[in-house]
Amino acid sequence: MWLNYGVEENSIAIQTTVQKLFDSIKTLKDGYNLYLEKIDYEKKPPSTNWLDVMFNKGESYNFEKEFRLLNVMGPGIANLNYPFSNSLPNIKDINNPDGIYIDVDLDNFLERIYISSRAEQYFKNDVENELNQANCNYIKCSYSKL
């Protein structure tokens, strides 16, 4: 996993549960629609349903055991009433370089933080300092054994 997703030696992975993720979401802006589903890794014929496509991956990624949270932001992004529609939104309507902010309760969300075994000690110290500043010093932070 670290070689695939933690390309930088100073990388972290967070541990949570699906229930904690669901329970930790505080509020959403009007027009946000969240979908939380387990990724399907089975071989399937290509689907015309845009929602099916968002929750499928090739079998070679089965080791991830991924759940995915998808945020659909209002009209024009996806036609929720007609999920088989193949119409694409205008890119200017969805381009957001700053990302999307979803307010979560960190006390309930984070279970543990793993730091890459290749990370330097100062990085682990920085992560622990950030946890302390956020009054989350009870969250376990340790080097990964992988």
pLDDT in tens, the chain (146 residues): 666 677 788 999 999 998 998 888 887 777 677 888 899 888 777 677 777 888 888 888 888 888 888 877 655 444 444 444 455 555 556 565 566 777 888 888 889 999 999 999 999 999 999 999 988 888 999 999 87
Regarding whether 63 and 2 lie in a shared domain, the answer is no
Q: Please choose, from the candidates 133, 126, 9, the residue with its C-alpha nearest in 3D space to the C-alpha of residue 141.
A: 126
Regarding whether 54 and 35 lie in a shared domain, the answer is yes
Number of domains into which the chain is organized = 2
Regarding whether 109 and 71 lie in a shared domain, the answer is no
Regarding whether 9 and 66 lie in a shared domain, the answer is no
pTM of the model: 0.68
Regarding whether 34 and 23 lie in a shared domain, the answer is no
Regarding whether 90 and 47 lie in a shared domain, the answer is yes
Taken in order 146, 119, 127, 69, the sign of the CA dihedral is: negative
pLDDT for the residue numbered 10 = 92
Regarding whether 42 and 90 lie in a shared domain, the answer is yes
**Domain residues for 34?**
28-102
d(CA 68, CA 39): 7
Mean pLDDT (the chain) is 79
Under 8 Å between Cβ of 135 and 110: no
Q: Please choose, from the candidates 107, 99, 96, 102, the residue with its C-alpha nearest in 3D space to the C-alpha of residue 36.
A: 102
Under 8 Å between Cβ of 139 and 114: no
Regarding whether 32 and 16 lie in a shared domain, the answer is no
**What are the beta bridge partners of residue 56?**
40
Regarding whether 96 and 59 lie in a shared domain, the answer is yes
